[in-house]
Amino acid sequence: LKSQDLISASSIYDIGPYGAVFEPAAMLTIYYNEQAVSGFENELKIYRYDESEGVWEIVPGQTLDTINNCIRVPITHLSLYSLLVARVAAAIEMPNADITQPNQGSFVSGNVEIKGTAKGQFFNNYKVEFLPYLGGEWTMIGDAISYEVESNTLAVWNTTGFDGPYTLRLTAANQFGDAAIRIITLLVDNAPPYGTAISVGNPKYRDADTLPYIITSLTPFYFTARDSQTDNIAASGVHHVEWLLNGETQWHPAENYKFTVPSSYPDGVYTIHYRAVDNAGNVEDSKSITVILDNNPPEVKLVYPSKEDKGICKVVNSDTIPIMGIINDANFLNYRIIMQAIGETPFVETLISQTSVGSGTQVLAVIERNQYRDGWYYILITSDDKLYNTSYDS
């Protein structure tokens, strides 16, 4: 067919035995696909193969039926028959070859799904091959495929054991040897990131280096990570670091390599898991750190003088007034009691500042009555914990 520049628009039918004679002639009907021969339907002919001469010859007396999409011809001899057209009359376009995924220059790893299009008139096959960027031989991915593909999977490339730049080549060919080629380059990176480190910002506190940090939802965590390099071949680079807390299944990306524990999480002990992901999708084995979340300020309650009392506080047979209350926090840091005079000559005075406190209701400070003139006073108890969570009562 190629030597005669002919195109087959049907199967080749072996009607045998070869050389057998019909008397009278038999009617041979060959059907065709109307869409496949669009533009050259009137040029279609039934040919018979002459084995003695090794050429295809037009069978005389044939009739084109465009209604039923077939050609009929009387035959007197059995042989090879086919529906053919001269290539110059068919004006066959070049095949179409395109790779749409992955993108040119992208990073890949593992099993890479290669998507695109390979099609054309009188399509023969397509094949996908790869070549190391530094040289070597083209290697086919799977087998040559004899059916058309449009905007779908062309091949799946197993890149296990490969690293570095590679060239992908898609070749789509028709039955006459015309071929369209699409080439892209990719960076194969099958090595995961490593050595991701975490550091804890302030506020934080711990009693010893062997104990977990106590933190709040304002405490930032910072990450550093790097990607692996194989045989001096540049890696794809770290895409992001992600984290999750106790028993979660959804990893959260750390924006700008930083995150804080959300304030919606209750106080308690948490294990923070973290790992890096590179631009090829390789994932580092996760690491973890244990922390204690403490977003609650100290418990502070003024017991005496009581807020329930109304009017003027009178002291009988005493030169002192005790200020009694409750301050409780596992991470207690300090408390302060402030006296503020209300009236024509206001002032503010810190009555006491302490870094230790007992349990239960106790005397937190004592007012020396002779140090203050008669009048109205505002009393404020403020307490901080070691993470600077603050609360007060007054």
**Angle of CA points 220, 225, 230, to nearest 5°:** 175
- pLDDT band (50, 70, 90) for residue 321: confident
Residues 109-117 have a mean pLDDT of: 97
Query: What pLDDT sits at residue 219?
Result: 97
Per the CB < 8 A criterion, the answer to whether 321 and 369 are in contact is yes
The partner residues of 180 in beta bridges, in order of sequence, read 172
Query: What pLDDT sits at residue 134?
Result: 80
Distance CA 272, CA 206 (A): 17
Name the fold adopted by 194-293: Immunoglobulin-like (2.60.40)
Work out the percent of the chain whose per-residue pLDDT is above 70.
96
Residues 255-284 have a mean pLDDT of: 94
Query: What pLDDT sits at residue 310?
Result: 63
- pLDDT band (50, 70, 90) for residue 232: low
Q: Which CATH number fits domain 6-90: 2.60.40.150, 3.20.20.70, 3.50.50.60, 2.60.40.10?
A: 2.60.40.10
Per the CB < 8 A criterion, the answer to whether 350 and 364 are in contact is no
- The CATH superfamily of 96-188 is Immunoglobulins (2.60.40.10)
pLDDT at 316 over 50: no
Neighbouring residues of 97: CB distance < 8 A, sequence distance ≥ 6: 116, 117, 118, 126, 170, 171, 172, 179, 180, 181, 182
Cα-to-chain-centroid distance, residue 284: 14
Ranking 136-140, 296-300, 316-320 by mean pLDDT, the lowest is 316-320
Does the pTM exceed 0.85?
A: no
pLDDT at 304 over 80: yes
Place of tokens 């550091």: 199
pLDDT at 258 over 80: yes
Ranking 221-225, 329-333, 348-352, 359-363 by mean pLDDT, the lowest is 348-352
- pLDDT band (50, 70, 90) for residue 312: low
Select the highest-mean-pLDDT range: 55-69, 75-89, 321-335: 55-69
Q: Which residue has the higher pLDDT, 1 or 54?
A: 54
- pLDDT band (50, 70, 90) for residue 250: very high
Q: Which residue has the higher pLDDT, 353 or 241?
A: 241
Query: What pLDDT sits at residue 111?
Result: 96
Q: Which residue has the higher pLDDT, 148 or 349?
A: 148
CATH classification (class only), 299-393: mainly beta
pLDDT at 71 over 50: yes
* DSSP category for residue 89: H
In which residue ranges of the chain is CATH 2.60.40.10 found? 6-90, 96-188, 194-293
Query: What pLDDT sits at residue 217?
Result: 96
Q: Which residue has the higher pLDDT, 36 or 380?
A: 380
Per the CB < 8 A criterion, the answer to whether 119 and 193 are in contact is no
Per the CB < 8 A criterion, the answer to whether 276 and 225 are in contact is yes
- pLDDT band (50, 70, 90) for residue 117: very high
Q: Where are the alpha helices (DSSP H) in the chain?
A: 87-90
pLDDT at 196 over 90: yes
- pLDDT band (50, 70, 90) for residue 308: confident
CA dihedral 249, 255, 199, 238 (to 10 degrees): 90
Which of helix, strand or coil describes residue 41?
helix
Residues 4-32 have a mean pLDDT of: 88
pLDDT at 345 over 90: no
